[in-house]
Amino acid sequence: MLPYLAASGHTHYTKSVQIHLQDLHSVQQTNPSVYALFNAGLFVIRRTERFWAGLSKDLVIEQTLMRTMKTTGGLVHGRGVMEEKQRNTWLLSLPVTATFNESMQEVANRNFETSEQHKELSVARVERDNKDARTFQIPV
C-alpha cells in the first residue's frame, strides 16, 4: 500500500507506515491478548450488526466525530474561535447527547437506520455497474 499512499498524497500515512508495521509484527509478544482478539476478527469497529458494517478506526473517527464537529450545532459550524475548555466540554458531552437522541427516537417512534443490504448489492447499483462494464467491452 505504501506506493498508493505516497501517490495519493497521504504523507502522514506514508511517513508512519513503517512504525505501524513494526508494531504489528511485535504485538504477539508485547500484547498477546490484543493479538488473540485481532486473530479472532475483532480488528474493526461495528456500529451495527450488518454484515458489511465493519470499519477501521480512522474511518469511524472521520464519519462520526468529524462529521458532528462540522454540522449545525457542532464544534466549528457558525462559531468563532473556541478555547480548550469549550472543546473538551463539547467532546465529553457526545455520549450524553447520543443517549438523548436515542431516547427521543423511541418517544417519537422513529428510527433512523439503514437497510440490512450493502449499497453495492442493490439492483440499481448492479445494473449501473453492468452498463458501465459493457461500455468498455470490445465488439467481436
* Domain boundary assignment for the chain: 1-43
Contacts for 140 with CB less than 8 Å, ≥ 6 apart = none
Q: What is the pLDDT along the chain (140 residues), one digit of tens a residue?
A: 778 878 888 888 788 888 888 888 898 899 899 888 888 877 777 766 666 777 777 777 777 767 777 666 666 655 566 778 877 777 777 777 777 777 777 888 776 665 555 667 778 888 888 888 888 877 76
d(CA 69, CA 72): 8
Residue 123 has what pLDDT? 83
Strand segments (E) across the chain:
45-46, 54-55
Structure-block grid coordinates of residue 33: 491478548
Predicted TM-score (pTM) above 0.85: no
For residue 25, CA distances in Å to 18, 44, 82, 120 come to 11, 18, 41, 34
